[in-house]
Structure formats: structure tokens, C-alpha cells
Amino acid sequence: MTGRYDELHARSLRDPDGFWAEAAEKVDWIRRWDVVLDRSDAPFYRWFSGGVLNTCYNAVDRHVERGRGGQAAIIHDSPVTGTVRTLTYAELLDQVSRFAGALRGLGVAKGDRVIIYMPMVPEAVVAMLACARLGAVHSVVFGGFAPHELATRIEDAKPRVIVSASCGIEGSRVIAYKPMLDSAIEQAAHKPEACVVLQRPQATAALTPGRDHDWAGLVAGASPAECVPVAATDPLYILYTSGTTGQPKGIVRDNGGHAVALTWSMAHLYGVQPGEVFWTASDVGWVVGHSYIVYAPLMHGCTSLVYEGKPVGTPDAGAFWRVIAQHGVRTLFTAPTAFRAIKREDPEGRMIRERDLSGFRALFLAGERSDPDTLRWAEEKLGVPVIDHWWQTETGWCIAGNPLGVELLPVKHGSATKPMPGWDVRCLDVSNHEVAAGDIGAIVCRLPLPPGALQTLWNARERYVKSYLTDYPGYYQTGDAGFIDEDGYVHIMARTDDIINVAGHRLSTGAMEEILASHPAVAECAVIGVADDLKGQLPLGLMVLKAGITRPHEEIVKEVVQLVRDQIGPVAAFKQAVVVERLPKTRSGKILRGTMQKIADSETYRMPATIDDPAILAEIAEALRRLGYAKVEQTA
């Protein structure tokens, strides 16, 4: 007997045109499309060709026009500044239209690029929506990115204007953005015509005469701008993701398919209603922030919570629970790393019990693999559905998840559950053949991809085909490895290059990490493959222990080695693990396993642009040297 999910998914693959045309009725169109799925230039598929709309209108104006201008659109909660600020939809419309007018006054028009280099403040959301209002293409760069990385994005996107702020705040540190912005502009051959700088009280930036403009002064003299009609297939934004060549890849998102997919996902995947408070604890610099801090919640008419803080340390491991209780958050979406950090500091969940979370309905996790131990801890302590779901910068929204707004499917810890409508997920071997249920292979998605997925790479059509469509003809290559079980559940185990080959056996480091994380003393962990003359590669575990653990590290290492032997078997050849104080991560919380592997194997590596704290790599190198690895530490 099939359920509602099965019917929806089957229909989306059988009749994509009908399925997504129906979903598109939730979007306001200036002109309806000529064709739902344009297959004329495959593999460059286009959704809603001929349609005309404006994304900003769908996110802001229409709610005001329909009598909901007094509802909160954005709540900015900033524990690092001790402030809370609310913008209603009417106030957001005023600010967005005026800032759009200010950008228009600087010459920004439809199709022009604008780089946004800002911290987690409401003005970052305003700037994004103002670009969408004008039909300009925004490219948000994570605030605080190093000048060289910002320069590469300036060079590729060639923005007419850059919007920034005087500073960002990381914990208790005030980080000046303007010197980094100036350095990036100096390094880039392309020079923007103007920069707009939001002056924050924590630091004042020196403005360059003739180029730089103060946000407040510029907006004060600007006339509000109306929404500019754009084609559904026109780009809404460029979002850069790391490339294997060192040259970042500019993911291009369209207007029409993006609006349809994200609006559908709010009701059907996340199960939230207009007017409810939806909190994505991420940053607007990442795809999660684009999709579920800014566009999806606002298009759906929710109140979106913008958080300038950390899961722990601002001020403690109870920060999330204070925000949920104070603002009536119904649904939280964050990374597993955040919960591992909270669990490490408050393993018994005492701080959870100090707050009234009776209105809290669901927790969604994504951004990296959710280990079963963390999922179980969150389920036990929160008493609500905890849903792991899988997606990527390229896809823009969920590939596989548990559709809370359709029906809650049985949970399998370690699985992202089942493919969402439009996603035809397969597991293939190197010969492009499907593997048996339960066998590890490359996880791919059959073309065409559903609305909301990347259209191409910015000015790099050939690179798009080579990067994503060549190795598995007819499929989008996700770069993730895993398996699909007999029930159709998708299990993402690791990036394809995190599958290690031990004496001819392909083994998932993710499966080993699950076992390490199940040990009661382990807060978080990573398993990497290190070079071995005899077996090709051997697994090596790195573990961070929970706060308050005083047992000898040697005992814990011996126990986790035995656990892996018991649950995977001798074939895993798992014999070494080391306890470290912390693991190197990106600012979005992803563990830098590839970098650690290069350090262990004494290979040349580049300092990752997104690393949270570069000093951690030296600590890891020293720990690896004690085991006989990392004999030569080299950086590019």
C-alpha cells in the first residue's frame, strides 16, 4: 500500500510538467510560462521558459498588499551585540525598495552583478532582496573571507557594486571587514564602480573618496524602486563553491524554478505554515542561508529568524534553547556540528530543560552527515522529530529527506530517508550500472534535475558539463558515495573521495565514524584514510571527547578500535585513533577531512579559504606526527 509521499514522488517523475505546474500556482507570475520544462538545449534544461516574475515581489510586496504588512518578517537576534530587532513585512518593503533605489542610483540595472560581503545583520537580507528587486544578480561572499578568496570572486563575477559592512563579530572578536575588502579590490584586475558600507557601532570603516558610500547616507537620499520583471530563466544569484582546481565554481540559480521549488518545500518538506517562526541557524554566505534564511521563509510568508551568534559560547550551550523559547520558533534547521558542540558541553541536556520549548515542533539537520548518536541524543532530549536531510550548494534544496508536511516516514538513523519529488536518485558503479541494494556506489541523480537546482556555472558551460555530467552520462554526479537500501532509503556515507581502499576493499569512513561516535566518551570524530605501503590505505580516527571525560585516552582508543572490529570486522583494518582537542572545520561546520588526510600523508595542501581557525591544523599535524604521520608539513 502506497502512502501520500510515494504517490507524490512517483507523479513528479512520471509527469514533471504537470507536477511542477501545479506547484507553480503558489507563486505570483507577471506572465505565465510557455513551457514548464524546456528540453530544447539539453543538458541545459530550463524551467518555466517564457514565464516572467520578480522574486522580491514574491518574498515581500505581495504579503504587504494582502494585508499582512504588520507581521514580523525578520527577527534579528544578536547575542554578540546583546540586541534583538524586528522588521515587519511593511518595514522590510520600505528598506528593500529604498536600498534598491540607492543601488539604481549607483547605476545597477537588470543583469548587473553585485557582490555582498556582510555579517549576519538584517541589512544583508535587505541587500539580497534589493538586487532581486532590480533584476541584478547578487553574489554573497561569506563575511570575513580572506582578501585573496574575495578577489577571485570579484574577478569572476565582475560586480558593478560591492555591498559590505565595517565589521563582523565572531564570538567576542570584532573583525574589521573594510581592510580585507580594500585588499581584495587591490588584488583583483576588475574594479567595482562603487562600494556601499554599513557602519556598525563596534567599528567605523574609513571610506575611500569617490568610490565608497555610507549605507545610511545613501539610502536617506534614495527614491524607492519598483520591482523589475525578469524572465523565469534569468539568474537570481551566483554562489561560489570550492573547485578542485583552486578556481571557485559559480553556481547559477534561476528565478522561476527557484521560487517554485523553495515555496513547495516550506509546506511539504518542513511542514511550516505562513506566519510561523522558522529559524535556520546558518549564514547568508552559504546556500542554506540563501534558501532558508532569506528566500523560502519569506516567499512562504513566515517570520525568518536571523541569528548572529554561535550554538555554544554566546554565551553558553543553552543559546539555541533561549532563542527558541524567546521567539516562539516552531522549526529549527541547522548543521549536525552545532548539535555535537551542544552535546559536548551539555551531554545531559540540562539547559534544554530550563526553557519552555512546548511550541517547538521539529529539528532539521543538514550540511554534513548526521551521525546516528547525535540524532538519537537530539530525539531523546527534545522529544520532537529530528530529520536528517541531504542536499548541496548545487541543488539549492533537499535531494533526500523526510517530508514532514506530507507524511512522516519511519526514521532510519544514518539515512537521509527518501528522494524528494523531482529527484530520481540512483547508486551506480564505475561502469555506470546500478549496484545492488545495500552496496556502496556513487550517488547520482538522473537528468533532468527538478526546479531549483543549478542551471550552469557562471561563464563556464563546458566546466559545468565536465564537473557534473561527464563521468556518469545522463546523470548529475553528486560527488557523494553511499547506498540505497531495499526500502529505497538513501544513505550518504561520505564524499566519493572519502571512500578508502583497504587492500582492495572499498570501505566508508562514514560508517566507521558512526561507530566511533557511538562511544559514550566521544563528542565528535572524523576518520581519514592514510597511505600505507602494504594495504594502500588504512583508516585513522580522530576524536574529540565530551566535556568532563577524565579516563585515560589509551583506554578509549582501545575501546573504539574494538568497536570497529566488532561491527565492521577485521577487514576494516582499523587499529589507530588519536584524541584531539578540536577538529578543523569550515565556518559552516564541515570537517576538513581531505586537508587532514593530506597533512597525514605529507602532501602539499592549500589552507582552505573557509577554515574556521587555521591554528587547528598545526595541532592536528602535531597529533599525527606522534603517530608517525605528517613527517613533512607542506602548504601551497
Q: What pLDDT is attached to residue 102?
A: 98
Residue 561 in any domain: the answer is: yes
The CATH code of the domain that includes 561 is 3.30.300.30
442 in the same domain as 577: no
How far is residue 80 CA from its own chain's centroid? 22
Q: What pLDDT is attached to residue 245?
A: 46
Residue after which a domain boundary falls, among 482, 511, 534: 482
C-alpha–C-alpha distance, residues 583 and 596, integer Å? 9
419 in the same domain as 543: no
Q: Assess whether pLDDT exceeds 80 at residue 488.
A: yes
The per-residue pLDDT for range 116-133, each reduced to its tens digit, is 999 999 999 999 999 999
For residue 145, is it left (φ>0), alpha (ψ between -120 and 50) or beta? Answer: beta
In sequence order, what E strands does 376-473 have? 386-388, 400-401, 418-419, 425-428, 441-446, 456-457
How far is residue 234 CA from its own chain's centroid? 23
Residue 315 in any domain: the answer is: no
Q: Which residues are CB-neighbours of 15 under 8 A, at least 6 positions away? A: none
Average pLDDT along the chain: 93
In sequence order, what E strands does 142-272 have? 161-165, 167-170, 173-176, 194-198, 212-214, 230-231, 235-241, 249-254
Residue 272 in any domain: the answer is: yes
Q: What is the mean pLDDT of residues 483-507?
A: 80
pLDDT level of residue 512 (50, 70, 90 thresholds): confident
Reading the block at residue 486, the C-alpha cell is: 531495499
Q: Are strands 72-78 and 83-88 parallel, antiparallel or unpaired?
A: antiparallel
> Residue 474's closest CA among 465, 483, 461?
465
Q: Which residues are CB-neighbours of 431 under 8 A, at least 6 positions away? A: none
The per-residue pLDDT for range 372-388, each reduced to its tens digit, is 888 999 999 999 999 99
Q: What pLDDT is attached to residue 588?
A: 67
- Angle at the Cα of 284 (from 124 to 299), degrees rounded to 5? 80
Q: What is the mean pLDDT of residues 88-107?
A: 98
C-alpha–C-alpha distance, residues 532 and 5, integer Å? 46
Q: Assess whether pLDDT exceeds 70 at residue 632.
A: no
Q: Assess whether pLDDT exceeds 90 at residue 189.
A: yes
255 in the same domain as 124: yes
Number of Cβ within a 10 Å radius of residue 557: 17
- Per-position DSSP letters for 38-57, written without gaps between them: E-TTTTS-EEEET-EE-HHI
Which segment of 4-13, 373-382, 505-514, 574-583 scores lowest on mean pLDDT?
Answer: 505-514
Q: Which one-letter DSSP state was computed for residue 586? A: B
Percent of the chain whose pLDDT exceeds 70:
97
Q: What pLDDT is attached to residue 505?
A: 63
CB 444, CB 421: distance < 8 Å: no
C-alpha–C-alpha distance, residues 488 and 323, integer Å? 36
The per-residue pLDDT for range 195-250, each reduced to its tens digit, is 999 999 999 999 999 999 999 999 999 999 999 999 999 999 999 986 544 577 89
Q: Is the peptide bond before 552 cis (omega within 30 degrees of 0)?
A: no
Say whether 19 sits in a helix, a strand or coil. helix
CA torsion sign for 121, 126, 132, 138 is: negative
Residue after which a domain boundary falls, among 431, 451, 482: 482
Number of Cβ within a 10 Å radius of residue 272: 23
C-alpha–C-alpha distance, residues 469 and 43, integer Å? 8
Say whether 425 sits in a helix, a strand or coil. strand
Number of Cβ within a 10 Å radius of residue 37: 18
175 in the same domain as 282: yes
Bridge partners for 576 per DSSP = 540
CB 514, CB 521: distance < 8 Å: no
Q: What pLDDT is attached to residue 359?
A: 97
> Residue 481's closest CA among 505, 507, 456, 460?
507
Say whether 275 sits in a helix, a strand or coil. coil
C-alpha–C-alpha distance, residues 416 and 438, integer Å? 14
Q: What pLDDT is attached to residue 468?
A: 95
Number of Cβ within a 10 Å radius of residue 410: 8
Q: Determine the structural domain holding residue 519 and report its residue range.
A: 503-635
Q: What is the mean pLDDT of residues 94-113?
A: 98
Residue 359 in any domain: the answer is: no
Q: Assess whether pLDDT exceeds 60 at residue 354.
A: yes
> Residue 130's closest CA among 156, 152, 112?
112
415 in the same domain as 533: no
> Residue 42's closest CA among 432, 474, 479?
474
CB 437, CB 485: distance < 8 Å: yes
516 in the same domain as 424: no
533 in the same domain as 469: no
Residue 451 in any domain: the answer is: yes
Q: What pLDDT is attached to residue 418?
A: 98
Q: What is the mean pLDDT of residues 262-281?
A: 98
Look at the chain and report how many structural domains it folds into.
Answer: 2
Is residue 446 packed enough to be buried (19+ CB in 10 Å), middle (13-18) or exposed (0-12)?
middle
Q: What pLDDT is attached to residue 493?
A: 82
Of residues 135 and 630, the one with the higher pLDDT is 135
Residue 27 in any domain: the answer is: yes
Q: Which one-letter DSSP state was computed for residue 551? A: S
Q: What is the mean pLDDT of residues 306-334?
A: 96
Reading the block at residue 203, the C-alpha cell is: 567599528
259 in the same domain as 161: yes
Number of Cβ within a 10 Å radius of residue 384: 15
Of residues 322 and 609, the one with the higher pLDDT is 322
512 in the same domain as 444: no
Of residues 185 and 535, the one with the higher pLDDT is 185
Q: What pLDDT is attached to residue 340?
A: 86
pLDDT level of residue 504 (50, 70, 90 thresholds): low
C-alpha–C-alpha distance, residues 260 and 422, integer Å? 12
Q: Give the DSSP H/E element, type plus range, for residue 236.
A: strand 235-241
Q: What is the mean pLDDT of residues 382-410?
A: 96
Q: What is the mean pLDDT of residues 48-58?
A: 98
182 in the same domain as 69: yes
Number of Cβ within a 10 Å radius of residue 437: 13
395 in the same domain as 279: yes
143 in the same domain as 114: yes
The CATH code of the domain that includes 107 is 3.40.50.12780
Q: Which residues are CB-neighbours of 427 under 8 A, at least 6 positions away? A: 434, 435, 439, 440, 441, 442, 443, 444, 482, 483, 484
Residue 343 in any domain: the answer is: no
Q: Which residues are CB-neighbours of 14 under 8 A, at least 6 positions away? A: none
Residue after which a domain boundary falls, among 418, 449, 482: 482
- Per-position DSSP letters for 147-178, written without gaps between them: HHHHHHHHHHH--SEEEEESEEEETTEEEE-H
Q: Assess whether pLDDT exceeds 70 at residue 497.
A: no
Q: What pLDDT is attached to residue 2?
A: 62
